[in-house]
């Protein structure tokens, strides 16, 4: 299994953990399908009223799509299959609150998940970045989600600077991407504290409030995401050129932390 789900029925909480620590919790096709299935399952679980989402280990929350994943594409210039487009709770019609507990690196496709969480609790050692442009790829879905959670200039800077720069947990907190900081060993408990509070309230009122909050930006989000496939098709380098860029960047290349 690439995903762990642990339920505390007495508290009304489920903890969903990306469990591919050996791959920095990158999402392969099995994990993508498992995430969609878990969110749909939790819709029907009356004993779960709040969710914490995190990654196994301390090195990474999630590093996006696993580069080894092979994604079949339809033979049409008008459609493209994105394996991450349905991995988030809102994409699966779950309106129970989701608190993200971010440990280590959160980059690239991780923002599909973070973009659909209600709020983020971050380890002080976490970092946030978007590598797309460095490797000849358009940051479309990721940039859209982050532009809704961060000041525009900060979202633009992170999306455009690629691997040259990482956003520190402190800076992420200062600009409002993160709502709470916790020391690494206290991260999960900090997220669980909020989840316990949310689970202790009448779930109908909580879910209605979640839905109301998302309605404030859902129209703009849907319109922006509709443009993503065309922008990716226009701007992405061919796969072989992307692979060459990945291969030419040696491990441990320096980046600026801000």
Least confident of 195-199, 221-225, 240-244, 245-249: 245-249
Q: What is the reported pTM?
A: 0.92
Q: Taking 70 as the threshold, does the pLDDT of residue 227 lie above it?
A: yes
Q: 257 to each of 87, 124, 138, 157, 214, how far by Cα in Å?
A: 29, 13, 22, 13, 31
For the structural domain made of 3-200, what CATH number should be given?
Answer: 3.90.226.10
Mean per-residue pLDDT for 208-214?
96
Interacting residues of 75 by C-beta distance below 8 A, sequence separation 6+ = none
Mean per-residue pLDDT for 31-41?
97
3-state helix, strand, coil in the chain (%, to 5): 45, 20, 35
CB atoms within 10 A of CB 143: 22
- pLDDT at residue number 73: 73
Identify the band that residue 62 occupies on the pLDDT scale cut at 50, 70 and 90. Answer: very high
- pLDDT at residue number 29: 93
Q: Of the candidates 117, 103, 124, which has an alpha carbon nearest to the alpha carbon of residue 198?
A: 117
What does the alpha-carbon distance between residue 146 and residue 154 come to, in Å, rounded to a whole number?
Answer: 9
Quick one: which H or E segment has residue 165?
Answer: strand 165-168
N-term to C-term CA, the chain: 36
Q: Taking 90 as the threshold, does the pLDDT of residue 16 lie above it?
A: yes
Residue 50 in contact with residue 12, Cβ under 8 Å? Answer: yes
- Of the two residues 251 and 13, the one the predictor is more confident about is 13
Q: Taking 70 as the threshold, does the pLDDT of residue 199 lie above it?
A: yes
Q: Taking 70 as the threshold, does the pLDDT of residue 179 lie above it?
A: yes
Task: Give tens-digit pLDDT for 74-119.
Answer: 777 677 778 899 999 999 999 999 999 999 999 999 999 999 999 9
Q: Taking 90 as the threshold, does the pLDDT of residue 213 lie above it?
A: yes
**What is the sign, positive or negative, of the torsion defined by CA atoms of 159, 163, 169, 174?**
negative
- pLDDT at residue number 252: 58
Q: Taking 70 as the threshold, does the pLDDT of residue 250 lie above it?
A: no
Q: 72 to each of 17, 79, 80, how far by Cα in Å?
A: 27, 12, 9
Q: Where are the domains of the chain?
A: 3-200
> Strand (E) positions, 77-149?
98-102, 105-107, 119-123, 127-129
What does the alpha-carbon distance between residue 94 and residue 40 come to, in Å, rounded to a whole number?
Answer: 7
């Amino acid at each position: 299994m690439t995903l762990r789900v642990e339920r505390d029925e007495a508290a009304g909480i489920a903890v969903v953990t990306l469990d591919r620590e050996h791959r920095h919790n990158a999402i392969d096709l099995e994990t993508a399908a498992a995430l969609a299935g878990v969110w749909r399952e939790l819709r029907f679980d009356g004993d779960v009223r709040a969710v914490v989402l995190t990654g196994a280990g301390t090195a990474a929350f999630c590093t996006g799509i696993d580069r080894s994943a092979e994604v079949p594409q339809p033979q049409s210039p008008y459609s493209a299959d994105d394996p991450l487009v349905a991995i988030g709770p809102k994409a699966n019609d779950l309106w129970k609150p989701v608190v993200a507990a971010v440990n280590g690196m959160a980059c690239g496709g991780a923002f599909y998940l973070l973009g659909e969480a209600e709020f983020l609790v971050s380890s002080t050692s976490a970092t946030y970045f978007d590598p797309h442009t460095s490797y000849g790829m358009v940051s479309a879905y990721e940039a859209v989600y982050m532009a809704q959670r961060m000041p525009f200039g900060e979202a633009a800077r992170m999306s455009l600077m690629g691997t040259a720069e990482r956003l520190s947990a402190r800076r992420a907190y200062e600009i409002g991407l993160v709502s709470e900081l916790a020391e690494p060993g206290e991260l999960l408990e900090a997220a669980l504290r909020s989840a316990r509070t949310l689970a202790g309230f009448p779930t109908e009122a909580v879910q209605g409030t979640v839905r109301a909050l998302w309605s404030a930006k859902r129209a703009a989000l849907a319109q922006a995401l509709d443009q993503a496939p065309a922008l990716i098709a226009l701007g992405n380098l061919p796969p072989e050129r992307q692979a060459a860029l990945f291969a030419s960047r040696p491990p441990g290349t320096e980046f600026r932390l801000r």
